Amino acid sequence: SQQGEEDPQALSIQEGENATMNCSYKTSINNLQWYRQNSGRGLVHLILIRSNEREKHSGRLRVTLDTSKKSSSLLITASRAADTASYFCATDWAGGGADGLTFGKGTHLIIQP
């Protein structure tokens, strides 16, 4: 089963606008990561935020983490056509053992030129 859930499932915006997608998860985590996937190919790591961090920036990306609500958001500012992709949040469970990452179903983002 998949722990994370991204919201919305699909998002279509105009180039230049900001895109916000949300992620909710269920258990305690070590970290939360966001990945991008273009057309069913490999995933590209975007940003990692640890459980003791609340906000992180990387270029046009801003990620927030609220561990009390078990939620995260990814903001992409000044979107470009090349940002069209599926975006996944993934969590690393803090319960011990190596369980890899648990992914949600993703948000499919379409940037209209």
By the rule CB under 8 A, 11 interacts with another protein:
no
Report how far residue 84's alpha carbon sits from residue 38's, in angstroms, rounded to the nearest whole number.
8
**Start-to-end CA span in the chain (Å):** 36
**Residues 47 to 106 in contact with another protein, rule: CB under 8 A:** 48, 88, 90, 92, 96-106
**CB nearer to another protein: pick between 100 and 113:** 100
Among 20, 22, 24, 31, binds another protein (CB under 8 A): 31
Q: In what order do the strands lie in the sheet with 5-7?
A: 5-7, 19-24, 71-76, 61-66, 55-58
Among 17, 28, 44, 58, binds another protein (CB under 8 A): 44
**CB nearer to another protein: pick between 37 and 77:** 37
- Which two structure tokens, joined as six digits, stand for 38? 């273009």
Half-sphere exposure of 86 (CA within 13 A, CB side): 15
Judged by the rule CB under 8 A, the positions of this chain that interact with another protein are 1-2, 4, 30-31, 33, 35, 40-45, 48, 88, 90, 92, 96-106
